[in-house]
Structure 1
Amino acid sequence: MTGSLALNYRLSDDIMAYTSYSRGFKAGGINLFREAVLTDTTHYDPEYADSYEIGLKSQYWQGRASSNIALFYTEFSDLQVNFFDGLNFRTENTGKARTQGVELENTLLFTEQWTMDFAVTYLEATFESLDNPQLDYLLDRDTPRAPDWASVLGINFNQQLSANLKIKARASLSYTGDHYVGADVVGEEKQDEYLISDLSISLQDQADSWAVTLWCKNCDNQDYRTIYFNSAFQEGSNNAYLNAPRQYGATFSMKF
């Protein structure tokens, strides 16, 4: 059974407190490769999560700024984790895990043209119990792709050029703290922290029916691991897939 329950209480016209509980699930599935029969991993069960949250939402500075803070706690059962042995991908129910932390979101309207948004998250996410004894090296270890700290800072510019033309621009910095990339390697070292910058500038008509956009992603050409796994048939050797390198280009879009 799944569902959610939320209670809101308005402390004033500009501040609202809330608390919520929700239970969700991720469907199970089948691993389609021959070796799954040998390892008894031909299928995996649904994953369930019980989540609790409490927080505040607020507006101030005559409605030009807002701040939201949330404290959250989630318990996972039959947690699904993806593994790669160098030849095949598989999904396995690993056991129980727990995540908890705090998230802060802010927006600020400086002028009609300039706005800023900023978000920061502190997270603790760990494996609490494991169903497969061969995965005991994961016990009390951080779950994959769960950095302690993550944040995003964005600056937006919007300017009317004429009755029919406007320009939009955005610059953003995304910080990701050190973290484990996967769960395959027993002695995996954490991926170092990194900072990603993105830029875009767009010229479009007032009705948003067309736009010409110049953009850049990962502008500083940062490298980091996205997948880390044991090399096939080479004991003690590991491989990694890296993120996409710097990308830039121009895009023309039109709505019909």
Structure 2
Amino acid sequence: GSASPFLFGGAPAGTLIPLVPRNSVTTQSFEKFSPRASVDYRIGDVLVYGSYSKGFKSGGFNLRYVAPRPSVLSFGPENATTFEVGTKIDAFDRKLRLNLAAFTTDYKGIQVTVFENLGAPVTLNAGDARIKGFEAELTAIPFPGLELTANLGYLDSHYTAIRANPALVSTPEQIISRSTRLPKAPEWQGTISAAYTYTLGNDARLDARADFHFSSRYANDAVNSRFLNQKAYQTLGLSAGYAAPDRRWSLRLFVDNLTDERYIVSGDSNYGIGFHEANYNRPREWGATLGFTF
């Protein structure tokens, strides 16, 4: 394809310079077999399983430029191969459930978005990466009405190879290396929750819930911009409710993010033009919801 002409700085006023040569053509085609296989086996109240799968994300073309280049900048496909093993255990007449899983994913040609030195966002294949980790989830009902849950996740994510792209013109702060962390991949995160439901004599219900979440530090973008890196944080949410005997109406009071923790969830960090912005989570919120059933 070709891009529309664009008035490029440095040229005489009124001069139109195409960002890519007129009538230039760049083509790509993709075809991939993505199988998945799994097996599980139950022994009493214990289920064990294993799975293998391959994933595929097609390549494409970058269509936004701010300076002329010799041709359309394309990027290749991303491939992923995942192995997972785990178990699900029920005990004490299903009053206790434990789920465990361990996995590893190998990425080939992982796709990321960076900025060129004049500010254009560019998707490219940064290299190969590996993510290993485990997840544990525990649910317990120590007595009727009370449910306790906890989950914990661990990730070991890193690049295993870097693919240099000579067509990319970028600032030093935006160069991806083997030590660059993968975005949105905290090493540790987890949640602890407690919920209690009490039924009154007239069949009305009272309930209360608390949720505590924590996360270790993580990067929000592919180049680990210091303006977007997020340190470890914790949040707490509380709620309580009442449901009428016939369930025709209910009332719930809640407060989310009780400690008013602020953390970065997304953003842009463009060193080429000196523009950086971060989007934060919602602040502490409280309120009430009134529901009716017709």
Change (3 A) 1:254 1:179: same
Matched, 1:180 2:219: yes
**How many angstroms does 1:223 deviate by?**
1.6
Query: In the alignment, residue 63 of structure 1 is paired with which amino acid?
Result: R
Letter in 1 for 2:108: S
Instruction: Give the C-alpha shift of residue 197 in structure 1.
Output: 0.9
- The residue type paired with residue 74 of structure 1 is T
Aligned with 1:143 (options 169, 182, 186): 182
Alignment of 1:55-94 (within 5 A): 55-83=86-114, 91-94=123-126
Q: What is the deviation of 1:220?
A: 0.7
Larger Rg: 2
Give runs of aligned pairs for residues 237-256 of structure 1, distance below 5 A.
238-254=276-292
Q: What's 2:129 paired with?
A: 97
C-alpha separation between the residues in 2 aligned to 1:219 and 1:82? 34
Gaps of 5+ in 1: none
Match of residue 152 from structure 2: 120
Taking a change above 3 Å as real, the CA distance of residues 70 and 234 of structure 1, as seen in their structure-2 partners, is same
The offset of 1:229, in angstroms, is: 4.0
Question: 1:56 deviation in Å?
Answer: 1.7
Q: Aligned partners of 1:255 and 1:92: how far apart in 2?
A: 51
CA distance in 1, matches of 2:205, 2:56: 44
Identity of aligned residues (%): 25
Distance 1:41 1:245 in 2: 43
Give the Cα separation in 1 of the matches to 2:195 and 2:70. Answer: 51
Q: 1:149 to 1:48 in 2, by over 3 A?
A: same
Q: State yes or no: 1:160 paired with 2:192.
A: no
What are the Cα deviations for residues 56-85 of structure 1, in whole angstroms up to 9, with x where unaligned? Answer: 211112220011111100012232324467
Change in 2 beyond 3 A, CA 1:255/1:84: farther
Amino acid of the residue matched to residue 47 of structure 2? M
- Structure 2 partner of 1:218: 257
Q: Deviations over 1:188-217 (max 9, x none)?
A: 784211001112223335786654322222
Shift of 1:15: 1.4
Tell me the distance in 2 between the aligned counterparts of 1:126 and 1:183: 12
> Aligned partners of 2:267, 2:234: CA distance in 1, in Å?
20
Say how many residue pairs are matched: 254
Instruction: Show structure 2 runs of 5+ residues with no match.
Output: 1-32
- Corresponding residue to 2:45 among 11, 14, 17: 14
Contact 2:37 2:53 in 1 (8 A): yes
User: Is this contact kept in 2: 1:28–1:44, CA < 8 A?
Assistant: yes
1:196 to 223, 231, 235: 235
CA apart distance, 1:23: 1.6
CA RMSD of aligned residues (A): 3.3
Q: Conserved in 1, the CA contact under 8 Å of 2:175 and 2:223? A: no
Q: 1:88: Cα distance to partner?
A: 6.1
Paired with 1:70 and 1:112, the residues of 2 have a C-alpha distance of: 28
Cα distance change on mapping 1:203 and 1:2 into 2, 3 Å: farther
* Contact 1:199/1:216 (<8 A) preserved: yes
Residues of 2 paired with 1:128 and 1:252: CA distance? 52
1:167, 1:247 → 2: CA distance? 22
CA contact (8 A) 1:144 1:181 kept: yes
3-state DSSP class of the match of 2:54?
Answer: strand
Give 1:180's aligned amino acid: A
What TM-score, normalized by structure 2, do the two folds share?
0.72
Residue 47 of structure 1: how far off its partner (Å): 3.0
